[in-house]
Amino acid sequence: MNTFTSDPRVVITGLGAISCLGTGVAAHWDGLLAGGGQPAEVPLPHLNMRTRKMYLVDRAQVPAKPSRFAGLELGSSPRLAVAAAEQALTDAGLEYGTRDAVPVVLGVELGNADMQEIQRSAGRTAWTTLTPAAAVVGAEIGSRAPLTSVGNACSASGYALTIGLDMIRAGEATTVLVGGAEGITRAGIGAFNRLGAADPVRCRPFDRSRAGTMFGDGSAMIVLEAAEHARRRGAEPYAELAGAAWSCDAYHPTAPDPSGDQIVRAMTEALADARLSACDVGCVIPHGTGTPLNDVVESQALHRVFGERTRALPLFSLKAMIGHTTGAAGAFACLTATLMLRHGRSPANTPIEQDPECDVWVPQGRSVPLAAPAVLVNTYAFGGNNTSLVIKDAVGEHAEGAR
């Protein structure tokens, strides 16, 4: 039973990140302000395909351990997950020995694929478990609570965040570690090359020359906590996860529904869950993958939710900075939204030549102050799996250095 009835809010008290921008939350924010990362050649053999680049974590910053778990050899994804989890829990003030009741909910799609591909390239025919990260993280942090791996493609960690939110609201936990992690993968890149959805240049959402998406690896972790529990132990929250909603197009295995009805529904219901209106949103982090149809449909859907205000509402195109981190994309977007609220602004976007069919505001050349106290995050996936999340200033203020 939930004992925190006097304050039902769910807040964010810890953050951890490793991406092409570096290790740690400060490196992530500084990297965004500096214009984001650059794609690099993937260090795997047999890349016989048109697009062979990703936004890669510096290989020197990929942790070497844990290298094995329960007899399973671990690739980069679970190792990145463990490192980012430790960052987030330490940031929240939850030291080892106090984490046994903390559930772990991770969005992981391609997961341990790099280890599987290395083994098969060496002639080993046994298949390796693809998604061990939640179990590995749980063991490493000392959790004895439920461990959940969500694998519904590129919205996986968006769904994971809603699961963590529901667990706290239902009184199943006071604190939940939520996030996502992905490693490099030849199979994933190959699949998008075959679909004709892999951009050989970079990830260019809303650009008239966009030619698909480009992947990135890394891990983002977020500590969700009942607001009253955080207050009792003296933790200062970054922000509030105020609302979330799911929807499903069920339209096509890979393409979005051109009507955009279900992504409008997800955004509208997330705002209703947060008890906010469209006017309370100061920035949107769109799904924005760089695929031609997705960016147009999402732009049109934003107009249906925000009306005439859409042209004055800043969008921050995160995937142009760190690539499409697939199952971890929602967690990276939520972490970035949280930092925007902390600093009171949206970084400048990577310069683009904007597609006139994407009639949205993608500010370039300068950062933009947040004019309202909430950020809307969208994450979509193959199969029409949609999630929208609303992150809100925890104290109603978003001045630089408020934390």
Q: Catalogue the active-site residues.
A: 154, 287, 324
Residue 137 and residue 176: Cα distance in Å, rounded? 13
Tokens (6 digits) for 148: 């959940």
DSSP code for 61? G
* Stated length of the chain: 403
Residue given tokens 């609303």 in the structure block: 390
Q: What kind and span of H or E run contains 101? A: none
Residue (of 106, 184, 183, 168) closest to 141 by Cα position: 106
Angle at CA of residue 219, ends 88 and 46, nearest 5°: 160
Contact in structure between 131 and 108 (CB atoms under 8 Å): yes
Taken in order 372, 370, 281, 375, the sign of the CA dihedral is: negative
Residue (of 239, 217, 257) closest to 386 by Cα position: 257
DSSP code for 55? B
Peptide bond into 43 cis (omega under 30): no
Contact in structure between 107 and 179 (CB atoms under 8 Å): yes
Number of other CB atoms surrounding residue 105 within 10 Å: 27
β-partners of residue 285 are 377
Give Cα 130 to chain centroid, integer Å.
Answer: 19
Residue 79 and residue 82: Cα distance in Å, rounded? 5
Contact in structure between 175 and 229 (CB atoms under 8 Å): yes
Contacts of 22 (CB under 8 A, 6+ apart): 28, 30, 31, 58, 61
User: Residue 335, SS3?
Assistant: helix
Residue 124 and residue 371: Cα distance in Å, rounded? 56
Residue (of 164, 288, 280) closest to 225 by Cα position: 164
Contact in structure between 295 and 265 (CB atoms under 8 Å): no
User: Residue 160, SS3?
Assistant: helix
